[in-house]
């Protein structure tokens, strides 16, 4: 019985609220009776915005470390290569399968040049064989880089220490899905190479393509 | 004690994993805006601001390079990523070589302590393109065309730049040729214009294609001015509501459910939704199948994929009718599909199994013989 009373009370309250709402609506509408169109301003407006350009790259892999090792006894040299799964031939360094990886993060197409701080002679030294310090650029995503007239992708070239280095991409695109390249490194270390911790830094120079 | 030891082991393990992964942590460097454009004016003084971006803590050494770099004053030569440099350029009285020059404002990332054998850093260059006027009158142009469907208008846009020291008076026209560029189909006269030095004029017109058939056309823009003429060519396409079957799966395997792909190439200048294929295997009507529907993008190839079971088929080559359905239109093609005979591994499995059984049998016989001979030896000793 008590529940019935409660339900009756709630129902009555709901009816009261509805009536109140209807009254308020009528009052508001009545106020605008002479102005049927409200909130309907006819004006023209300009929309202005500027999309800024940005030239930016991200090194998703920014270091290569073969650790410590030496040329196998009886061998004149060892070859270390990050390409194609990574390999160490005639040496006991740890194979590295990751080359540098560079993504064009910006919204403009870029030119890309690569330069190293050292040559094969200053980085590795030795005379048992001619030391080699080479790099190779490949598209991690198809058509990311088009090479140049004198630089082919998928080919190893000697490093360049002069100026801004070797131009490797006339056009390094910013298009989504084709904006990532990989740079592999190959070293030929003579058995009488320089010893101790050897290190070098490669510089990737980018600028907007005209 | 054991739990404590395990925790230590886990800490050491994850620390090692972290150290191994550490060298692969990415590093970003960049500059914004990427470039500015400025027309050379004697004694013009202007500030260009470049913001060099990078991961927290990345340091840059700022420099200028290229033509006019000797006329640039930098607000700083060193900055931390996230900060800006103001390059104050004050051009000389005389520019020298005319044309478009690249004045670079660069930020060389300062290499950190490199523990690895090889590291890589960024050298980011913002560009101030400086347009130096050619002596006298000099015109350049940009020409753009749009693709359309037959009967629709083609947008033709011509930008005439006056890149000389003097204003130019131009007379412009656009000639429309067939795809082989042999037959002149139409000439659109764009009239005369005055283009002031270092400025440009943009001319827009539409080509009515109601008399044109679908296909590729060449548009040649010609601008004649006091010092000569410049021209530029663009190809545009007029589409027709047609989707071609440009390729399909040629080989399938016997006795299994095969994936069948159809490459559909659209010749229409708008997306066509609801494109699907109905593939009827001739003489095997029970194997007919449909592909899910796709959207064919303008002038693009789309792959439609379906599946069918080849268990019932005994022939080495079957024929199929591919029917593409789109916008109440159809394209049909009857194609041949060949079977690649899969390698039958059964015989190898049987031979391998027999070989294994023989080896096991020999092994058992050898063991039995050894046991027998050793028993015989023991009897001898007892005696």
Asked if B49 contacts B89 with a C-beta cutoff of 8 angstroms, the reply is: no
Considering the domain architecture, whether residues B190 and B222 belong to the same structural domain is answered as yes
Question: What does the alpha-carbon distance between residue B349 and residue B239 come to, in Å, rounded to a whole number?
Answer: 57
Distance (Å, whole) CA B124 – CA B206: 42
Mean per-residue pLDDT of chain A = 89
CB A8: neighbour CB atoms within 10 A?
10
- pLDDT value of position B354: 82
Tell me, what CATH number does B68's domain have? Answer: 2.60.40.2310
- CATH code of residue B222: 2.60.40.3880
Residue B331 and residue B318 in contact, taking contact as beta carbons nearer than 8 Å: no
- Asked whether the beta carbons of B66 and B101 are under 8 A apart, the reply is yes
**Torsion on CA atoms B209, B214, B215, B220, rounded to nearest 10:** 0
- Give B347 to chain A, closest Cα distance, Å: 36
Same domain, B223 and B283: no
**Same structural domain, B56 and B144:** no
Tell if the CB–CB gap between B27 and A203 is shorter than 8 Å: no
CB contact under 8 A, B118 and A65: yes
Mean pLDDT of B87-114: 90
pLDDT at residue number A41 = 54
Report residue A146: phi and psi, to 5°.
-105, 5
Q: Is residue B19 part of a domain?
A: no
- Among B189, B208, B239, identify where a domain stops: B239
Residue B53, domain member (yes or no): yes
DSSP, res A150? S
Average pLDDT over residues B146-165: 94
DSSP states along B72-140: EEES-SEEETT-EEEEEEE--S---S-EEEEEEEEEEEPP----SSEEEEEEEEEEEEEEEPBSS--EE
Is B215 in the same domain as B196? yes
Are residues B143 and B202 located together in one domain of the fold? yes
Work out the pLDDT band at B13, boundaries 50, 70, 90. Answer: very low
Contact B229, B147 (CB under 8 A): no
pLDDT band at A9 (very low <50, low <70, confident <90, very high): confident
The residues with which A104 forms a beta bridge, in sequence order, are: A57
* CA-based R_g, chain B, Å: 37
Instruction: Answer yes or no: is pLDDT of B380 > 60.
Output: no
Question: What is residue B10's three-state secondary structure?
Answer: helix
Q: Do A56 and B117 touch (CB under 8 A)?
A: no
Residue B200 belongs to a domain = yes
Beta bridge partners of B334: B321
Q: Provide the pLDDT for residue B22.
A: 39
pLDDT digits (tens, 9 = 90+) for A58-99: 999 999 999 999 999 999 999 999 999 999 999 999 999 999
**The pLDDT of residue B346 is above 80:** no
Q: Is B145 exposed, middle or buried (0-12, 13-18, 19+ CB in 10 A)?
A: buried
Residues B254, B234 share a domain: no
How does residue B12 score in pLDDT terms, banded at 50, 70 and 90? Answer: very low
Phi, psi of B358 (to 5 degrees): -60, -45
Q: How close does chain B come to A193, measured CA to CA in Å?
A: 15
CATH (domain of B290): 2.60.40.10
The B139-145 sheet, strands edge to edge: B139-145, B154-162, B200-207
The CA angle B37-A53-A172, to the nearest 5 degrees, is 100
Closest-CA distance of chain A to residue B125, Å = 5
List the one residue out of B276, B281, B279, B277 whose CA is nearest residue B289: B279
Q: Identify whether residues B272 and B332 lie together within a single domain.
A: yes
Q: Are residues B176 and B254 in the same domain?
A: no
Looking at residue B364, its pLDDT comes to: 83
Banded model confidence at residue B50, pLDDT cuts 50, 70, 90: very high
B281, B209: one domain: no
| Number of helices followed by number of strands (H, E) in chain A | 2, 11
Q: How far apart are CA B4 and CA B31, in angstroms?
A: 50
Contact A54 B123 (CB under 8 A): no
Domain membership flag for residue B361: no
* Chain B positions in Cβ-Cβ contact with residue A105 (cut-off 8 Å): 28, 30
Mean pLDDT score across all residues of chain B:
87
Backbone φ and ψ of A4, nearest 5°: -60, -40
B34–A53 C-beta distance less than 8 A: yes
Is residue B104 within 8 A of residue B64, CB to CB? The reply is: yes
- Average pLDDT estimate for B108-120: 82
Chain A residue with Cα closest to B126: A207
Residue B275 reports pLDDT greater than 50: yes
Domain end residue (candidates: B239, B271, B300): B239
Residues of A whose CB is below 8 A from B119: 62-64, 199-202
Domains in chain B: how many in total?
3
Answer with the residue of higher pLDDT: A163 or B117. A163
Q: Does residue A37 register a pLDDT over 70?
A: no
According to the model, what pLDDT value does residue B19 have?
A: 37
Q: What percent of chain B lies above the pLDDT cut of 70?
A: 89
Backbone angles phi, psi at A112, to 5 degrees: -135, 130
In this prediction, residue B5 carries a pLDDT of 52
Q: Which of A106, A183, A198 sits opposite B34 (nearest CB)?
A: A106
Give chain B's length.
383
pLDDT band, residue B382 (cuts 50/70/90): very low
Q: Which CA distances in Å does A36 have to A39, B13, B294?
A: 10, 75, 48
Rounded to whole angstroms, the Cα distance separating B266 from A11 reads: 64
The whole model's pTM is what? Answer: 0.65
Q: How does B9-34 read in b/e, with b if 16+ C-beta sit within 10 Å?
A: eeeeeeeeeeeeeebeeebbbbbbbb
Q: Do A208 and B35 touch (CB under 8 A)?
A: yes
Question: What pLDDT is recorded for position B321?
Answer: 94
Residues B257 and B184 in one domain: no
Distance between CA A181 and CA A102 in Å, rounded? 5
B147: in domain: yes
Check pLDDT > 60 for residue B14.
no
CA distances from A1 to A7, A9, A150, B256, B299 (A): 10, 13, 97, 73, 76
pLDDT score at B181 = 85
- Overall average pLDDT of the B12-34 stretch: 59
Burial (0-12, 13-18, 19+ Cβ within 10 Å), B331: middle
State the Cα–Cα distance between residues B126 and B342, nearest whole angstrom.
58
How many CB pairs lie under 8 A apart between chains A and B?
Answer: 137
- A50, A56, A110: which to substitute to probe chain B, counting the most B Cβ within 10 Å? A56
Residues 6 or more apart whose CB falls under 8 angstroms from that of B92 comprise B42, B43, B71
Q: What DSSP assignment string belongs to A80-93?
A: EE-STT-EEESB-S
Contact across the interface for B118 and A199, Cβ inside 8 Å = yes
User: Nearest CB to B116: which of A54, A59, A65?
Assistant: A65
Which of B4-18, B238-252, B358-372: highest mean pLDDT?
B238-252
Nearest by Cα to A109 from A139, A136, A138, A144: A144
Residue B95 pLDDT:
84
Domain hosting B183: range is 139-239
Mean pLDDT (whole number) for B215-240: 95
Do B45 and B127 have their domain in common? yes
Neighboring chain B residues of A108 at a CB cutoff of 8 Å: 34-35
* A136 contacts: CB under 8 Å, gap ≥ 6: A83, A99, A154, A155, A156, A157, A183, A184, A185, A186
CA distances from A186 to A103, A190, A191 (A): 21, 13, 16
Q: Is A147 left (phi over 0), alpha (psi -120 to 50) or beta?
A: left
**Least confident residue range of A63-77, B82-96, B368-382:** B368-382
| Domain end (from B185, B213, B239) | B239
pLDDT of residue B18: 36
Spatial distance between the Cα atoms of B104 and B228, rounded to a whole number of angstroms: 33
Instruction: Assess if residue B175 is contained within a domain.
Output: yes
Same domain, B173 and B251: no
Kindly state whether residue B320 falls inside one of the protein's structural domains.
Answer: yes
pLDDT over 80 at B179, yes or no: yes
List of domains in chain A: 57-208 (2.60.40)
Name the closest residue on chain A to residue B23, using Cα atoms: A63
Question: A210 contacts in B (CB within 8 Å)?
Answer: 100, 102, 127, 129
pLDDT score recorded for residue B6? 52
- Residue B211's Cβ-count burial label (10 Å; 0-12, 13-18, 19+) is exposed
Is B382 part of a structural domain of the chain?
Answer: no
Which residues of B make CB contacts under 8 Å with A?
23-35, 53, 100, 102, 104, 106, 108, 111, 114-127, 129
pLDDT class of B374 with cuts at 50, 70, 90: confident
| Interface with B, mutate which of A50, A51, A60, A65 (most B CBs under 10 A) | A65
Distance CA A88, CA B269 (A): 54
């Amino acid at each position: 019985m008590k529940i019935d009373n409660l339900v009756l009370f709630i129902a009555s309250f709901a009816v009261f609220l509805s009536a109140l709402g209807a009254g308020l609506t009528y009052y508001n509408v009545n106020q605008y009776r002479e102005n049927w169109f409200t909130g309907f301003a006819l004006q023209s407006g300009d929309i202005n915005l500027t999309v800024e350009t940005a030239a930016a790259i991200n090194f998703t892999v920014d270091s290569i470390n073969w650790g410590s090792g030496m040329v196998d006894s009886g061998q004149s040299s060892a070859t270390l290569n990050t390409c194609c799964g990574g390999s160490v031939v005639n040496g006991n360094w740890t194979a590295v399968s990751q080359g540098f990886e560079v993504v064009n993060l910006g919204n403009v197409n870029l030119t890309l040049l690569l330069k190293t701080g050292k040559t094969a002679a200053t980085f590795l030294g030795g005379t048992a064989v001619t030391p080699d310090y080479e790099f190779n650029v490949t598209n991690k995503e198809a058509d990311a880089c088009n090479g140049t007239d004198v630089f082919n992708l998928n080919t190893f070239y000697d490093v360049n220490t002069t100026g801004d280095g070797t131009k490797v991409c006339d056009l390094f695109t910013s298009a989504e899905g084709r904006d990532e390249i990989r740079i592999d490194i190959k070293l030929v270390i003579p058995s009488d190479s320089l010893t101790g911790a050897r290190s070098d830094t490669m510089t990737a120079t980018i600028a907007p393509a005209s | 004690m054991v739990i404590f030891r395990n925790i230590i082991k886990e800490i050491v393990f994850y620390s090692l994993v972290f150290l191994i992964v550490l060298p692969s942590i990415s590093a970003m460097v960049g500059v914004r805006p990427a470039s500015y454009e400025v027309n050379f004016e004697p004694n013009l003084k202007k500030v260009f601001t470049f913001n060099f971006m990078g991961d927290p803590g990345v340091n840059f050494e700022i420099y200028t390079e290229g033509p006019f770099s000797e006329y640039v004053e930098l607000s700083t030569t060193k900055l931390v990523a996230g900060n800006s440099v103001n390059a104050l350029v004050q051009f000389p009285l005389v520019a020298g070589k005319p044309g478009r020059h690249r004045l670079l404002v660069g930020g060389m990332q300062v290499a950190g302590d490199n523990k690895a054998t090889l590291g890589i850093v960024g050298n980011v260059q913002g560009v101030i393109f400086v347009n130096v006027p050619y002596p006298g009158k000099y015109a350049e142009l940009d020409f753009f065309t749009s693709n359309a469907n037959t009967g629709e208008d083609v947008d033709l846009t011509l930008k005439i730049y006056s890149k000389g020291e003097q204003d130019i008076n131009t007379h412009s026209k656009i000639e429309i040729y067939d795809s082989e560029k042999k037959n002149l189909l139409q000439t659109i006269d764009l009239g005369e214009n005055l283009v002031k030095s270092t400025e440009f004029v943009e001319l827009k017109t539409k080509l009515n294609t109601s008399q044109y058939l679908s296909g590729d056309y060449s548009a040649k823009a010609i601008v004649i001015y006091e010092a000569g003429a410049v021209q530029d060519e663009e190809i545009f396409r007029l589409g027709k509501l047609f989707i071609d079957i440009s390729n399909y799966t040629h080989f399938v395997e016997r006795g299994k459910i095969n994936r069948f792909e159809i490459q559909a190439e659209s010749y229409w200048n708008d997306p066509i939704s609801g494109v699907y294929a109905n593939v009827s295997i001739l003489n095997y009507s029970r194997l007919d199948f449909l592909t899910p529907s796709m959207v064919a993008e303008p002038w693009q190839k789309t792959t439609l994929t379906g599946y069918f079971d080849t268990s019932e088929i005994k022939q080495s080559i079957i024929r199929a009718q591919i029917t593409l359905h789109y916008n109440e239109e159809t394209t049909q093609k009857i194609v041949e599909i060949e079977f690649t005979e899969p390698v039958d591994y059964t015989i190898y499995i049987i031979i391998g199994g027999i070989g294994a059984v023989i080896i096991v049998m020999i092994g058992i016989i050898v063991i039995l013989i050894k046991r027998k001979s050793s028993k015989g030896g023991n009897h001898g000793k007892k005696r």
